[in-house]
Structure 1
């Protein structure tokens, strides 16, 4: 559809989608998008005025150009529908968008699924192809943006018409549909140049043994990415949650699932409740991984956009790794729960793969930290705390992309010791406090960290060795320090590091 007139602006709210017939009195209410079938052009003017009078937000009409002034005068948004688009297909797409928006508008912090269109765009970036997500009636529910690389099958599918019958017959003959129904196999389909059809891969979207739809990837002028199959599998598992939501208007159960990880990490939800919802064994090993962007120079809106895209990418990788994996955004970070671990060593590989995809597709720096593998789901809060500790320890080391506690154990422990000093002024030396953050304090700290090597410390500070000797002497006088005492040296070094 194309917006021809929007007298109330583009922020006008759509609450529902209705189909109206010009021969009947429009059954529209405030907030409706009315799809006006059966009349085109000026013949639809009375119905447009009546829909506006009844408070409808927008009306969609074919051959709508002559109605532009009518819509402006009536105060209703006018959407032009292309002649070849089927009304039932347009209704399905519009209802899907509205239902998804309504279901996610009031979500609390939890696993962020976005909508089907966002998922399609994410998987397009990860596979390098053009994506369409279809239901079991082959109706396109969502698709990714595409340029001039769209073949005839994709063009006709998006417009709501059937693809070329010779090609569809080949798909049936090759058993493609049967393989899509049978499980999570990623099916490869060769191109057919004589039909104008490019190479594709596809996977069925399943809830248990029941197929809900299909995700198709059309290859463009460039080959699909190396990990396209794995990314497509993860996307299909996420798409299943969306399609379940579409089939069940009472989406409270799905919203609960989306909030499970956030509640468990915060200690508000018991592990047994989470295990029952995601179908995981609570007694099997699990781990938490945390991801964070390092883009402090970007605006808040840009960071939020990147964070949403990061959630989508990481969710796809996590779902491909383990069906019962959960992802959630908390406090500007993205956490992933990996339950039922059979190969703990693979967690690090998954983390590196997901982080590399995030960096590659967003073009922004990011880091990740892996929490320890715990015995069961009731201990994942400890894994989350460890992951946070590790992430804090590498925050000032942009060259480190992924780390676990074993990689930065000393930095973590020192950081937590300094945090205790910062939080409890009563265990700090007031005379040393006067040196923290000063030139004398920095010089004494450099001297202590160099084990008393004046030349090395002076070189680090870019000063003459005699200047450093003078500063160390003055710092000891002001702080009442005896550097021959190892306890005083140790405590002075800790307290002087509070500014770092």
Structure 2
């Protein structure tokens, strides 16, 4: 179906199915265009657009139904929905056929509120990823078709659920299951009581651990047996397939069910990552958000991130001699990161600015930068790249509109990791506070800001002219807190040689190492020099 066309009545029938409603009178023309949903208000009369659906809340009298049909026929409405048992008479059936208005009977177990949400979700045309406050989840036609295909394969009613036990799609035939499944479909969520039972019985633990289907015996008298399998993208669990079955499946159907989970994984990853056009749009919105350009609140809203704590992850590769090869590495990192983050959170976003790849990751709490670091480290362990990669994790921003500070943190962490050269591949801003403070001082101070030549400055000049390494000796002494044996070992010389060099550097640099202020000044200037040298080299 063209996404610009209005949805058809057949789409509602297929998606909601006989679990929720069934046609009891009038035509059920699958091709009939449906425009809107209206709740009946006796005090306001019938105000329905052509092609609209009227929810007959509180309508239980045949005479009222007959009058409504006349009004709906004049409005060219598509259908009226009535609660079970629908008050039907021969006159109502004849009027529905003559006026071409369908009469649907709604399950007594379904609330009108649930029905309104479901209908409006079905009728809302799909938007590109990032549009709307809450992008509709799980109403892609492909997922429902897949659920029906799996249901046909197993001869069993099937649901496709995410990791939070929310229903993304379901097959037909749910009315023949049990109360728990019906409530699951109606509420688009597995009821809390059944989630607790499944957790206590270790079912979820087994699903996360196993790559094979798991048979779940009846939990109680009202719960029929199930077969379930995790939907995985690599080691990441994206969701689950559940089928109501009377007994364990034979081997051939178990294999088919396992194969179906791999097909479902492709759908879920594709839906999360989106089409190439969707990805470009999200990348542009992400760039606007972290770059502070334009309406950041609107960008956050369209990304689905408004009001949510988020963390910026920044990734960079060691530069390559071949610019084309380096550009290809950056592009592969961005594509891989988009898939990796999408498997973790559907509202994540990725963009590339210059040679740095940025990821926006929604996090559950303000102190979740450690969890974000785990995500970054896990990604670095998984990705195959010719160049070495680093990752910086910024502070958690309380709202997506405040991510600029988190981006600055993540970039600063990359600079520190570049400078340290100690093999650490990823770090959070919180874990590098001292280094980040030094970095900011280096950015704020000019080399010529301090009056007169400093001790470190004199040593640097001497090393440059005479090819000595006295500044390295001084750095080792200060970093080892004056412990001569440890400092000598750090620069691989004998302690006596180290003592001689120490006396020489004190003479040349005019440095008094018994003065604590002189030691502090020298250590600080050495750190500033190291940062400036690395930045100049990169």
Taking structure 1 as the reference length, the TM-score comes to 0.51
1:170 maps to what in 2?
153
| 8 Å CA contact 2:286, 2:350 repeated in 1 | yes
Give per-residue Cα distances to partners, 1:31-68, cap 9 Å, x unaligned.
xxxxxxxxxxxxxxxxxxxxxxxxxxxxxxxxxxxxxx
Give secondary structure in 1 for the equivalent of 2:359: strand
Query: Superposition pairs for residues 28-427 of structure 1, below 5 Å?
Result: 169-170=152-153, 174-175=157-158, 181-182=169-170, 186-187=240-241, 199-202=258-261, 216=263, 233-239=268-274, 241-242=275-276, 245=277, 255-282=280-307, 284-293=308-317, 295-296=318-319, 299-339=322-362, 341-344=363-366, 348-353=370-375, 355-362=377-384, 365-395=388-418, 396-397=420-421, 399-421=423-445, 423-427=446-450
Matches of 2:254 and 2:482, distance apart in 1: 78
Give secondary structure in 1 for the equivalent of 2:396: coil
Per the alignment, do residues 387 and 470 of structure 1 end up closer, same or farther by CA in structure 2, a change over 3 Å counting?
same
Matches of 2:150 and 2:408, distance apart in 1: 54
Per the alignment, do residues 187 and 354 of structure 1 end up closer, same or farther by CA in structure 2, a change over 3 Å counting?
farther
2:524 maps to what in 1?
494
| 8 Å CA contact 2:160, 2:240 repeated in 1 | no
Per the alignment, do residues 378 and 449 of structure 1 end up closer, same or farther by CA in structure 2, a change over 3 Å counting?
same
Per the alignment, do residues 291 and 434 of structure 1 end up closer, same or farther by CA in structure 2, a change over 3 Å counting?
same
Matches of 2:377 and 2:241, distance apart in 1: 27
Shift of 1:327: 1.0
Aligned length: 306
Give secondary structure in 2 for the equivalent of 1:430: coil
Shift of 1:385: 1.0
| 8 Å CA contact 2:311, 2:372 repeated in 1 | no
Matches of 2:404 and 2:254, distance apart in 1: 55
1:430 equivalent in alignment to 2:453? yes
Per the alignment, do residues 320 and 343 of structure 1 end up closer, same or farther by CA in structure 2, a change over 3 Å counting?
farther
Tell me how large the CA RMSD over aligned residues is.
4.1
- Looking at both structures, which has the greater relative contact order when contacts are Cα pairs under 8 Å and sequence separation is at least 6? 1
1:470 equivalent in alignment to 2:500? yes
Matches of 2:285 and 2:416, distance apart in 1: 27
Question: Structure 1: any 5+ residue segments left out of the alignment?
Answer: 1-110, 112-132, 140-165, 203-214, 218-228, 246-250
Instruction: Find the structure with the greater CA-based Rg.
Output: 2
| 8 Å CA contact 1:191, 1:200 repeated in 2 | no
Matches of 2:282 and 2:459, distance apart in 1: 52
| 8 Å CA contact 2:394, 2:406 repeated in 1 | yes
Matches of 1:194 and 1:410, distance apart in 2: 59
1:449 equivalent in alignment to 2:471? no
Shift of 1:344: 4.4
Matches of 1:442 and 1:480, distance apart in 2: 16
Matches of 1:194 and 1:319, distance apart in 2: 30
Matches of 1:168 and 1:407, distance apart in 2: 50
Per the alignment, do residues 363 and 180 of structure 1 end up closer, same or farther by CA in structure 2, a change over 3 Å counting?
same
Query: Which of the residues 515, 518, 522 maps onto 1:485?
Result: 515
